[in-house]
Structure 1
């Protein structure tokens, strides 16, 4: 055999009758047998492949080992080149039987997969193609046919989510890393249609009668989202179905069974029907509390409200047994009329709330003797700082202190008394007595009922007070926050006292709690809780008899806040009382987003709000529950304002503040600039109602003295009486102007208001010095809606430039008002007085004896006493003063 070496590859051909096929090598070392070596090998075994001794050598690349070749095969190729000197012919002795073998094995690519699993529409599918031989890794490509919709070839796997119930047939080409390939046999994937899902339906949670409800019909299985419909039966009255959600306010307790059909979002959709119950539980029984109205005066027109608390407003009252004093009748929960004889009746009253809860209790309806023609008048209680507390514990074992505010108590105690069941303690070291204020302690003989002051043998009206166990804590500048909080071991900071009963502001106290801040206690800095306030609360009390009260201790002044903090007090929660403190803030002295709040006898100021500040007030009140109450009594709002926006006010009651009593406050001393003195404006929610704004002195404002921007008296009484409003609407607000009147209804944001605001026995002086459009005057109704009934008021203007009624006012009516300074009386007044009212002075708006307003009023709507507690005469006087 002749061997020829050529570069870049070597080709070897055996010559002879038994020549093998062509062998072509690349990059390898080839050794050939000499004749003798081959002969000896062959003789050993006819099937043996002998060891080839080296007679010729070629270069080999180490990274490409010689691929295996079966013995006796004809040829294979491998990259290489012969050595340069391998040009001479070489002779290999011919043998009949000889074989060659490479030193590494190689086999052809083969496809092992002959069938594939079936799939289901909508379910994930994956199947691998298996191959052997060749050199991994393998790649697969579609040779013929096509895959099912939704499936694709990824590497050597068929994967995806089939979308149609079909069978596909195809073949694949499998290729190894050297490019060698093989083709599969015919393959097929059969996809079956999806079976409908089984849906399960479950009943929604139970509802409660009279309470807003949202419940979801449970559906599981299949594919969300689901839809639901009622195929048989009906839901309880007041409830409706929207998809799978039941909502509304069920009218009464009971249970309904309905058949509900549910469908999922598969295509085609799975459906199922089931009978489910919809249960409405009875509303829990709520205990209502009834309190007596204020005392009437014989011979004087009277309106007194029977107090109802607990449950859900509005309330209704009816006479269960007994009778009212002669001349008085029951109208809803109001006792009205003109009593003829002094004395006390004890009728039983049944009170009901809007959810059919009811209770019956005896009340006292007291009629005081009319004052004599001399100077003697009955004492009158306006309000107290606390209305709940205990007669034990505290600093000396006599319980809480009660400050009683009113008139005609006498300059000194003498033989006068204060009683609450038994007599209160009035001889303690901090007890005091003056004509307008009494400081007493409850003591052990006090029982729940009415506090009554008896002075010079004359008994006052009664105000309700509840005696209940009370935690009494003390905070002193000499205390320590590691102390127990008793009078002998006081806390140093109010926060330590507060945290001790609220578990660090996380829950209401376990019982009624009073925290006394002793004079000198430092409450001026930001308390560090993120509210930018010196006192901030997230929690309060839990009921009318479990309140949380933060109160100045008698005997000195406690300062809270400063112009360095945004808010003196910022509070959330319910049943909170803030009383007898001097509070200051940069933006607000008090910002209370709370309900059932009592703000009593505080000094409140905001002397340096940021320029242009708006949307707030020195006192801002709002709540999320329109059934909750607000009491704002006896506060002095002074030194307030600056270059603020037209939406910054002195006192501002915003969203959902209904059932509010705003009385005996002084607003506007040392005026620095704000829009309205007292403002009601619900920025969200419904218009406001059950509002009583009375016995306030409001001096100086850029805009309205009293602004009612969102009231609806058709829902509940809205009345403004016994107020003095002087120098309202002084000038243009630097950051915008608003309505310019003494007392005004000036917007209707919630719409659809009706009814009439009762405005009576007010004295309005110098209102509307600044005019915007037609908006200036003593009184005005700018928008259609609620009207204004004017009775027994005085409007005194300096000139005709400041009219009595805002031009364009709608739905204003009334009679028996005094009009002075701006021309003839308005035409609507059926019995006007058009004359100088003859005030005591330009700053004292009480009346001289010869005033034409004296005994010129109407008895159809008059306050029983005047702004300083003097009873009205049988024919009442116009204005705030009798």
Structure 2
């Protein structure tokens, strides 16, 4: 309840600024007068003690319409769906799709305003280009040349641009109409392959099988995916170790089990077959050890990354459990510790390759022991841009920065630090141009006037204009992002340097990634 009171106070404070003589008054994220957007909830409203809001008052937060109930005890929230926008009177039909462009009768480009209330001021296309389906394209085109609008492909045929609409639900991306960007956009059981939701080919996905030991029960699972389950299984070539058999475990996996009777290395090829007759094969090797204590973990160990948590459990077979483990010689990376149970864990520091000898002892009488040499490589972690909130967009990532407050004519300080991990510090940051294939969806990109990005990654300043604000509807999911978009690149201090790029959003409307659209609510 306390958060509701703060929310109302914030709106009153901003509206109060406009009554203080500031030219142009206070504006919201779309540059509209706040008094019109918040409806009855203006600076003249008085919230009685003990109430959350003034009864009957209303306001908009993103695409969410809030109206105070008759008792003033809580906000009633309505989310405006696709094709509608939030106003002081509730959700109303939009005049156009936000940020969609069209060509008017005079051949000028008109772009729908971020709130969908209408089209902005028409603009001319650059010299040598002509407006077609909302894009400025070359007047003279090459046969077969293609480009994208948001929902169609423009193709040059016989010297003229011809529009070929995508199917309903598709968008145009890199000169193709696509259904998806990632597997999350596809029905269960299908994957996004080249922009199309497709049933993946049958594939055996198990990487390797564990070692066994003569006279000791052996169990291992082989898994597959894709195709049409359930699968049938067989050994196509080679032979399993004597004493082992393969059998179906469930619709998508098989189990190799039994008690090995012969020591040695055994290579064989396993075949999976789906209900449509599709086949998948994969080669495996099983090592069967003789009696006695043996370390089955193999060298080199899986690589570690400098500065990232690491864990590896050493394994052995034979003898009498429990086992005890120790490092006999060599050195471990700084930050890693080796426990008596055989677990190597911690956060390694210092890229290098480390060699060491491990011993295991059992609990039998007499005690058995085994030793083995191992190597571990600690690599420099890949340089990655990170953030507290991130979403995938058009094969790249969007990092959502803290909310910015924009009031016309009133500079409100803003500062945040762009973040990265991995690579070799110090990092260096700079703004870069957004790729051309993204400009169809983000027509106005760039750090807004009033903010600057330092070499160390600090974004700071103050913004007093909402001219660059856009509302981006993310394809295939019911989600909208509103604010200033720009792209930045980070490079590290390696030689040659590594780099990473990402799109950043400075939101003017709160973002709730768990809400599924409209920017969500801040509480």
More strand per residue: 1 or 2?
A: 2
Query: Shared fold by TM > 0.5?
Result: no
Q: For this structure pair, what is the TM-score category when the shorter chain's length is used for normalisation?
A: under 0.3
